[in-house]
Amino acid sequence: MPVKFKYSDGGRLQYGLDFNNRDCVVRALSNAFNVSYIEMRKEMGEYIEKLRNSKDSTIRKLAEISDVDNGISAAIWIRYMKEKGFSYKHIVNKMLKVRDIKRKGTVLIGGFAHATVIKDGILYDIGDVRNMYVDFYLYKRVKRACEGNLKDSTCKRGF
């Protein structure tokens, strides 16, 4: 099934905020978690502030240059997503496009200095980026019907 596109600013305009194409992480996360743009903006701001006090100097420096309005370093939001239970997949050959991602559930995608989200086969973003090359994506594993039930004759290994 092909990935469909649906325009979404993550709810930013309903709060009277001006257009900003550098807040893609906040927009993608608000769409991914079904929370308001303002709520996600606040949460990410607090998360970044917490990391600015990190003992890890690399994380601390990346947090210093990250801002909810002007861009959040990929390493920062990858860390955030991993803490939320998402798995990380790095794309080695850089030949995967957004439209080629077929995972079920919620997939956060990073590529070409942009973050976007696919939920259940629908891309939510302010622009149609289905042809964007993917550098990495984060996903939450969707439990399949047969999982943990291999004794059922209709379920097969290797699903």
pLDDT in tens, 43-73: 999 999 999 999 999 999 999 999 998 899 9
Give the pLDDT confidence score for residue 158 in this predicted structure. 35
Give the integer Cα–Cα distance in Å for 15 and 37: 8
Q: Kindly report, residue by residue over 133-157, the tens digit of the pLDDT.
A: 999 999 986 655 554 444 444 444 3
- The DSSP letter of residue 155 is -
Residues 6+ apart with CB under 8 A from 103: 118, 137, 139, 142
User: Domains of the chain: which residue ranges?
Assistant: 4-139
pLDDT at 16 over 90: no
Q: How far apart are CA 33 and CA 24, in angstroms?
A: 14
Looking at the chain, the whole-number percentage of residues with pLDDT higher than 70 is 87
Edge-to-edge, what's the strand order for the sheet holding 4-7?
4-7, 122-125, 114-119, 106-111, 136-139, 87-90
Q: What is the pTM of this model?
A: 0.84
Query: What is the reported pLDDT for 142?
Result: 60
Residue 155 has a pLDDT of 45
Region 85-98: what's the mean pLDDT? 91
- Is the pLDDT at 99 greater than 50, yes or no? yes
Q: Which residue has the higher pLDDT, 101 or 146?
A: 101
HSE on the CB side for 29, CA within 13 Å?
24
